[in-house]
Structure 1
Amino acid sequence: MKQNKKEYVAEIIKLLLKSYKKVKCALNYKEPYELLFATILSAQCTDERVNKVTEELFKKYRAVADYANADVKELEVYIRSAGFYRNKAKNIINSAKVIIEKYDGKVPQSMQELLVLPGVARKTANVVLGNAFNKAEGIAVDTHVIRIANLLKLTKSDNPVKIEQDLMEIVPKKYWTEFSHLLQTLGRRVCKARNPNCSGCSLKEICPSAKA
């Protein structure tokens, strides 16, 4: 059964790559710390909204030290529309301080070190490692991945940690970062939560949840 699931996942990856060619992180960034803070902002917020917020944010704060020394109230103004802005502002400032104090101002490149940063859980760490450093230590599980992995019957769980474990067993490691992007792209363009376009989906022939 496990081997069959691996073959099934290989077919999913093949079909999605054919549909979407080269996929990448939906968040805009140039530096690893920008991706880190953008991902912290993305919690319970759309990537589209985060990119609008960071367009101005990254102009105002141009280095990790700028965030570490930021006035929390001023930072809150810039990120308010991303939601939960008070907690996010504190996490960004405190993460920046840890990066300066412990890691010489550079975003750490291991899961263990990233998880020490305020506001960083496995999803955020996976996004940063996979996209900023091309290191795959896991699979980033967001709302799109949770929903579509269940629709594809790749997991029976709604717990992100368990879903990640299930996916890591059947998705080839070289695709761990890309697999998240593929499911996210599918979720944004076709397999939308409220109105999935099953007839226009490249997985319609193999998806067990596809509607006739």
Structure 2
Amino acid sequence: MCSPQDFGMSAGGVRMVTRSRISGLRARPRGGREEAAPLRKGEASAEEEKSHHPVKRQRKAQSLNVAYEASDGEKGEGTKQLKAPSWEPQDWRQQLANIRTMRSGKDAPVDQLGVEHCYDPSAPPEVRRYQVLLSLMLSSQTKDQVTAGAMQRLRARGLTVDSILQTDDSTLGTLIYPVGFWRSKVKYIKQTSAILKQRYGGDIPASVAELLTLPGVGPKMAHLAMAVAWGTVSGIAVDTHVHRISNRLKWTKKVTKSPEETRIALEEWLPRDLWSEINGLLVGFGQQTCLPVHPRCQACLNQALCPAAQGL
């Protein structure tokens, strides 16, 4: 998830001007840290160039809808061939609208116990961000109900970087049990907390690249941390629910084998303004209707539009 560029004259004298939008990450210096805004949910300018070369006859400017170009591979011809519009799945807009309708009640576990509900809203901003990251680390291979319970026990003892570093491994394990892989998570939480204290003054990094260097933090956690903790949409957060449903609906050009592969495939075609809602929307849909085993296709508004439902 390329700044606006102006393409110059081609060999054949054809000028093509394209515009694009960019919404990038703001890299934060590791030294002096500026105060970040509390948790809340750029358009670069493009310039047009005008040719000043004299020509015998002025061509009428053409309006281009495609922002991609590719060489035809023949030198001397000088013309450029426009690539075909990028691939997108059939019926995806109607499928998405149906999922929104089915999720309008906001009554899935993720809606009540997801990461947005696990931190202490009265804590200082850096503590809230740390709690967001910790809840994400605990949530891997764990149901929302179990993660929320572990976070409540941790917060009851004062959940900060310092309090975790002062808690022995045995006690920490007791507090987070029975989250999935709790023994490994005790180690990752301790290691990550030490790094945050040493390098970030107890706060969490404000970029995906830095978040991914932390022990126990994967792409889904990093993108969700950016969205919830920093209010920045850096990419689509893909977990097992999003991965499964995207393949069932054929929202990927080919079958993907991992959540990260699915994220890359989705970001190639899904409009960026929809990235922020996909995780919560599909996770809840996967918890209630599009279940891993025995999906409730009879109750799904997409039954007639879902390729997977046709084979059941």
Q: TM-score, normalised by structure 2?
A: 0.63
CA–CA distance in 2 between the matches of 1:2 and 1:59? 53
CA–CA distance in 1 between the matches of 2:87 and 2:98? 17
Amino acid at match of 2:158: Y
Report runs of 4+ in structure 1 exceeding 6 Å deviation.
Answer: none
**Kept in 2: contact 1:13–1:179 (CA 8 A):** no
**Kept in 2: contact 1:9–1:171 (CA 8 A):** no
**Kept in 2: contact 1:2–1:170 (CA 8 A):** no
Deviation at residue 22 of structure 1 after TM alignment? 8.0
Residues 131-168 of structure 1 deviation map (CA, whole Å, 9 limit, x = unaligned): 22221111111111111111011221122221110011
My pick for the range that moved more, 180-189 or 4-13, is: 4-13
**Kept in 1: contact 2:131–2:159 (CA 8 A):** no
CA–CA distance in 1 between the matches of 2:259 and 2:203? 28
Q: Paired residue for 1:186?
A: 285
- Determine if the alignment matches structure 1 residue 83 to structure 2 residue 180: yes
**Alpha-carbon distance change, 99 to 175 in structure 1, aligned in 2, over 3 angstroms:** same
CA–CA distance in 2 between the matches of 1:152 and 1:130? 25
**Kept in 2: contact 1:75–1:89 (CA 8 A):** yes
Amino acid at match of 1:10: R
Q: Paired residue for 2:81?
A: none
My pick for the range that moved more, 123-132 or 1-10, is: 1-10
**Kept in 2: contact 1:126–1:139 (CA 8 A):** yes
| SS in structure 1 at match of 2:307 | coil
Deviation at residue 64 of structure 1 after TM alignment? 1.9
Deviation at residue 2 of structure 1 after TM alignment? 6.1
**Between Structure 1 and Structure 2, which shows a larger proportion of helix residues?**
1
Deviation at residue 8 of structure 1 after TM alignment? 3.5
Aligned positions of 1:59-208 closer than 5 A = 59-155=156-252, 156-208=255-307
**Kept in 2: contact 1:70–1:93 (CA 8 A):** no
Residues 62-85 of structure 1 deviation map (CA, whole Å, 9 limit, x = unaligned): 222212332111101111211311
CA–CA distance in 2 between the matches of 1:2 and 1:203? 26
CA–CA distance in 2 between the matches of 1:122 and 1:161? 7
CA–CA distance in 2 between the matches of 1:26 and 1:202? 25
My pick for the range that moved more, 106-115 or 16-25, is: 16-25
**Kept in 1: contact 2:89–2:251 (CA 8 A):** no
**Kept in 2: contact 1:126–1:138 (CA 8 A):** yes
Q: Paired residue for 1:21?
A: 104
CA–CA distance in 2 between the matches of 1:137 and 1:9? 22
Deviation at residue 3 of structure 1 after TM alignment? 5.0
| SS in structure 2 at match of 1:130 | helix
Structure 1: where are the runs of 5+ without partners? none
Deviation at residue 4 of structure 1 after TM alignment? 5.9
- Determine if the alignment matches structure 1 residue 10 to structure 2 residue 107: no
Q: Paired residue for 2:62?
A: none
Amino acid at match of 1:26: G
**Alpha-carbon distance change, 147 to 73 in structure 1, aligned in 2, over 3 angstroms:** same
Identity %: 29
**Alpha-carbon distance change, 16 to 134 in structure 1, aligned in 2, over 3 angstroms:** farther
Aligned positions of 1:24-63 closer than 5 A = 26-27=114-115, 28-30=117-119, 31-63=128-160
CA RMSD of aligned residues (A): 2.1
CA–CA distance in 2 between the matches of 1:129 and 1:8? 30
CA–CA distance in 2 between the matches of 1:146 and 1:2? 24
Residues 39-60 of structure 1 deviation map (CA, whole Å, 9 limit, x = unaligned): 1111211112111221111212
